[in-house]
Structure 1
Amino acid sequence: MTSTQLPAPPAADPASRGAGVALMSGSALSNQTGAAIGSLAFDTITPAGVVAVRQWIAALVLLATTRPRWREFTRAQWRLVLALAGVFAVINLALYSAVDRIGLGLAVTLEFLGPLAVALAGSRRRIDLACALLAATGVAVLMRPEPTSDYLGMGLALLAAACWAGYILLNRALGRSLPGAQGTATACGLSGLVFVPIGIAVLLTHPPTGPALGFAITAGVLSSAVPFLCDALALRRVTAPLFAIVASLNPVLAATTGLLILDEHLDAAQWACIAAIVAANTTTILTRR
């Protein structure tokens, strides 16, 4: 999950735009690689344990880099922050639990329906309706009944998608209400506090090994710290539409890293569905003025 506060950058030369695209690509690859590595610790400390460690690292990074001025927050701003903290607490736990059940590629593809739904919501353009139909077809094929279908895992991925949509809407509201990323950082810090008792309970009942703890910490760095830094630098060099298009690569990168790191194999129909959902999002962005 990446930042959605996308200010229009100043005009940039091709070299600067190229650097921005490279940063965004590195961010997406780091995010999905971190998720794949984190899943290697599921058998030892469970998805909840991995999420707890990731949330703690994300909170430390965001709070240290933004230094929110909490005393200046209004009651209305705190309500938005608390709502976003709840989204943070649910989204990664839902996603990692889904990854544990249905694999990284399918979980991230279904989660990506969240931002796609926000992009299509309220539109009456024929091209957007066609994109929605294309994405819906891809989802229907992915969720078709089969003997091995894990509907709980799919449901968790769709819950993560709903949370991602909520994250986008809440982040927009906070971006208009608070300067910089103060609201996002504070929400992430509160979410990290929520996971303190959860993480302690999980780690006491599932004692971590050195490798498992290393996998979880690596997931926190690669899926939180690195993407945050790369996205912040990239947004100074590229436009918001270009940022969103490159972010569309996440399902493809998730499926690829799942194959290379976790040995998760997808069939041709599943790859086609991933391509359809990515194409729907890209088309929606490219055809907007």
Structure 2
Amino acid sequence: MNALTGKTDSDALSLADRVPPYAFFVGSAIFHYLGPSFAVLLFARVPVAGVAWLRIVSAALVFAVWRKPWKAFFAATRGAQGTMLALGGVFATMNYCFYRAIAELPLGTVAAIEFMGPVALALMGARSLRNLAALALTVAGVYLLTELRFAGSPQAFLWAFANALLFTLYIVLAHAVSRSDPATSPIDRLGASMIVAGLLISPLGLSEAASALLDPIALAAGCAVGISSSVIPYVFDQLAMRRLPRSTYALFVALLPATAVIIGVIVLRQVPSVVELAAVALVVAGVALHRPTA
């Protein structure tokens, strides 16, 4: 029973099953780009590792209050527990590497490098000329949307490629967590992983975040980043992954930069260029052409 809604988890999941999985991914993509807007406030007040700590720990606290996920962890099978622990480790290191990378490189470059892993996963699951063509269209669209610049320190690129590898592991492990134990809720399993991540990130970022604990603006921005970047999108991902093949989800990652352009048009009144419009059209065409494999 969920104390906030008064509904059982099975009722909530059956309601979620009525929503197309693609809609959850679009929702995830939208919130994925709200987080960085709050992070701008944090970078002016908190060091990079402290931002990563605030994001993960605030998300872990939300899950702890909302779901009490440790109950699902201890009720899960040994294999499911191992997957949750591994995903928690990925959450901690992936976010740390991501913020280290964007502190020195353009976000477009980091996004382009990050997309390499999902391309490999989508390619592994293509299994038809139609899906190969869909992948080609989405890759071309992402290439046009992202600005891949090979200018920056070698260390920054190491952070970016490490983030790309970890993002690929996130897709693999989060997909496994969404289906690992029918006796417990995938959202509770996700929450358990986030609490593990909060514990693991503390040696890396707690000291740098300490000054923010007495700064109300930094704390508010940190909570906003955690909710918009690590709670809502990851919950939506779990609801989508339960019903989508892993390769299909990997292909849908191409919607992230396309969604950023659309949000810029709607929210910021930014007029896209002809190239950006063509790129979004390629991504949408690729997603529409793709057919999930069994």
> Which residue does the alignment assign to 2:175?
172
Provide the C-alpha distance between the structure 1 equivalents of 2:157 and 2:284, rounded to a whole number of angstroms.
Answer: 18
Q: 1:74 to 1:229 in 2, by over 3 A?
A: closer
CA deviations over 1:11-30 (Å, ceiling 9, x no partner): 85xxx669x84x65444322
> Which residue does the alignment assign to 2:51?
50
Which AA in structure 2 matches 1:157?
A
> Which residue does the alignment assign to 1:89?
92
1:218 aligns with 2:220: no
Provide the C-alpha distance between the structure 1 equivalents of 2:17 and 2:112, rounded to a whole number of angstroms.
Answer: 33
Which AA in structure 1 matches 2:185?
G
CA deviations over 1:210-262 (Å, ceiling 9, x no partner): 43333222111222333356667x76xx9748x95876432233456689999
| Identical-pair percentage | 26
Q: 1:258 to 1:248 in 2, by over 3 A?
A: same
Q: 1:161 aligns with which of 142, 146, 164?
A: 164
> Which residue does the alignment assign to 1:3?
none
Return the TM-score normalized by structure 1: 0.69
CA deviations over 1:51-96 (Å, ceiling 9, x no partner): 1111112212334326343333444333322221211112122222
Which AA in structure 1 matches 2:221?
F
Provide the C-alpha distance between the structure 2 equivalents of 1:151 and 1:260, rounded to a whole number of angstroms.
Answer: 36
Q: 1:171 to 1:33 in 2, by over 3 A?
A: closer
**For 1:265-284, what aligned pairs fall within 5 Å after superposition?**
280=286, 282=287
CA deviations over 1:176-201 (Å, ceiling 9, x no partner): 43232243222211110112233321
Return the TM-score normalized by structure 2: 0.68
> Which residue does the alignment assign to 2:5?
none
Q: 3-state DSSP class of the match of 1:45? A: coil
Provide the C-alpha distance between the structure 1 equivalents of 2:154 and 2:289, rounded to a whole number of angstroms.
Answer: 28
1:285 aligns with 2:290: yes
Question: In the alignment, is the contact (CA less than 8 A) between 2:108 and 2:148 conserved in 1?
Answer: no
- How many residue pairs get aligned? The number is 272
Q: Which runs of 5+ in 1 are unaligned?
A: 1-6
> Which residue does the alignment assign to 1:104?
107
1:193 aligns with 2:195: no
**For 1:1-289, what aligned pairs fall within 5 Å after superposition?**
21=23, 25-63=26-64, 64-65=66-67, 67-69=69-71, 70-133=73-136, 148=151, 152-178=155-181, 179-181=184-186, 182-204=188-210, 209-228=215-234, 240=244, 244=249, 248-254=254-260, 280=286, 282=287, 285-286=290-291
Provide the C-alpha distance between the structure 1 equivalents of 2:92 and 2:252, rounded to a whole number of angstroms.
Answer: 26
Question: In the alignment, is the contact (CA less than 8 A) between 1:37 and 1:215 conserved in 2?
Answer: yes
Question: In the alignment, is the contact (CA less than 8 A) between 2:69 and 2:189 conserved in 1?
Answer: no
Question: In the alignment, is the contact (CA less than 8 A) between 1:110 and 1:139 conserved in 2?
Answer: no
CA deviations over 1:104-156 (Å, ceiling 9, x no partner): 3443343244334322215443344445555666777867665x456654543
Provide the C-alpha distance between the structure 1 equivalents of 2:229 and 2:135, rounded to a whole number of angstroms.
Answer: 28
Larger RCO (CA under 8 A, 6+ residues apart) = 1
Q: 3-state DSSP class of the match of 1:108? A: helix
Q: 3-state DSSP class of the match of 1:44? A: coil
Which AA in structure 2 matches 1:57?
S
Q: Which runs of 5+ in 2 are unaligned?
A: 1-12
CA RMSD of aligned residues (A): 4.5
